[in-house]
Structure 1
């Protein structure tokens, strides 16, 4: 599948006349929670040629499409962001990009772009913003865990986000992408950890999609959500504006990718 994905990315480069700077696996396969039936969630950042960015209309850039999305087929979900969109979101400590940077499955990496991003990561990381992101995902999944049967996927999504939030509070750093380190560092009660790891095994084996609600898991999610919400509300601090550095990274990447100007 790796070769197939790289081939698809090369097709995108030819069709859209872009260069894919960085492409990785995202979603359940990057989290260590995939079954055989799981999609491959490929995410990438790309750059157009110099002329695409040069316009006398100051609004011209805003009218141009800044994403490439392919229809999902053959368990392949492929989409990407244009470099300036990606850099603006990175400046806001966008969790998606910060997670992509931690993926263990890299399909393409061209130019020094991603290395440049990593050098600026501490400049943009906003613990409060990222914590609120994980709280929102955990809350959305937790709200669906009260029926007669609930999806295992929702349990794991809730816990992955919850434990990622706890990692941020404890270590003041971006959490790992893989689910297992989050479990190991959370110091969960023995029975709760056993229940959670069983759900992981069932999800990976693809034996079933749903289970009856598990009270100890639901109670833990509710309790820790309240803790995280309180913690997020006490976080303060300002970051320096990294725009000048990101502008320079954009120009350097454009020149390295296309060898122009």
Structure 2
């Protein structure tokens, strides 16, 4: 009901270990009416800001850590500018975002897939600038907290789930 970004990501994750399909399908159907851009902006901007504070973009950095900055910034931007639940993949998030660095980013996604977790990479000056500019853009964004939708459908899902588990 409060637009929990982590829950929304779990619902949309391409990686599923186990799930109750009826429950997740129903929750996925309900989720869009509860999405609040302000909550998502706050969540993703915080993740990106904390990750960015922990790195010096001019030095070699773990490529995976840089993506921990880029993806949340794009998700925050999406939540405000596009509305709704941001897509999970970087490719989808980049679809509506115009940047001259798109090819560099796509190449780094492929490179990251080939490297181990400890791989260090030095970002190009263009990507360093892009990261700072995107962070500044997202930092300037705002979204008004909307009145949450009626809790009735979520309460009904909760009750029906309990009735299924505890007949």
TM band (smaller chain)? 0.7 to 0.9
- Structure 2 unpaired stretches of 5+: none
- 1:75 matched to which residue of 2? none
Within 5 Å, give how 1:138-157 maps onto structure 2.
138-143=48-53, 144-146=55-57, 148-157=59-68
C-alpha distance 242-112 of structure 1, shift in aligned 2 (>3 A): farther
Aligned to 2:18: 108
User: In 1, Cα distance between the equivalents of 2:130 and 2:58?
Assistant: 17
Q: If the length of structure 1 is used for normalisation, what is the TM-score?
A: 0.57
- Preserved CA contact (<8 Å) 2:48 2:72: yes
Choose between structure 1 and 2 for higher RCO, CA contacts under 8 A separated by at least 6 residues.
Answer: 2
Is there any run of 5+ residues in structure 1 with no aligned partner, and where?
A: 1-90
- The answer (yes or no) to whether the contact 1:150–1:211 under 8 Å persists in 2 is yes
Among residues 192, 198, 206, which one is paired with 2:107 in the alignment? 198
TM-score of the aligned structures, taking structure 2 as reference length: 0.85
Q: Using the alignment, how far apart are the partners of 1:188 and 1:105 within structure 2?
A: 28
Distance 1:215 1:147, change over 3 A: closer
Tell me the CA shift for residue 204 of structure 1: 0.2
Shift of 1:252: 0.4
Larger radius of gyration: 1
Give me the whole-angstrom Cα distance separating, in 2, the residues matched to 1:240 and 1:140.
28
Aligned equivalent of 2:76: 165
Higher strand share: 1
**How far apart, CA to CA, are the structure 2 residues paired with 1:111 and 1:149?**
43
Mapped partners of 1:153, 1:111: distance in 2? 31
Structure 1 segments of 4 or more deviating over 4 A? none
Distance 1:122 1:213, change over 3 A: closer
Question: Are residues 1:96 and 2:35 paired?
Answer: no
Partners of 1:182 and 1:172 in 2: CA distance: 12
Tell me which of 143, 153, 163 is aligned to 1:245.
153
For residues 90 and 111 of structure 2, the distance between their equivalents in structure 1, rounded to whole angstroms, comes to 15
Aligned residues: 165
Q: Cα distance, 1:257 vs. partner?
A: 2.8
2:125 matched to which residue of 1?
215
Give the 3 Å change call, closer, same or farther, for CA 197–145 of structure 1 in structure 2.
farther
Distance 1:181 1:119, change over 3 A: closer
User: Using the alignment, how far apart are the partners of 2:103 and 2:56 within structure 1?
Assistant: 18
2 CA distance for matches of 1:116 and 1:142? 36
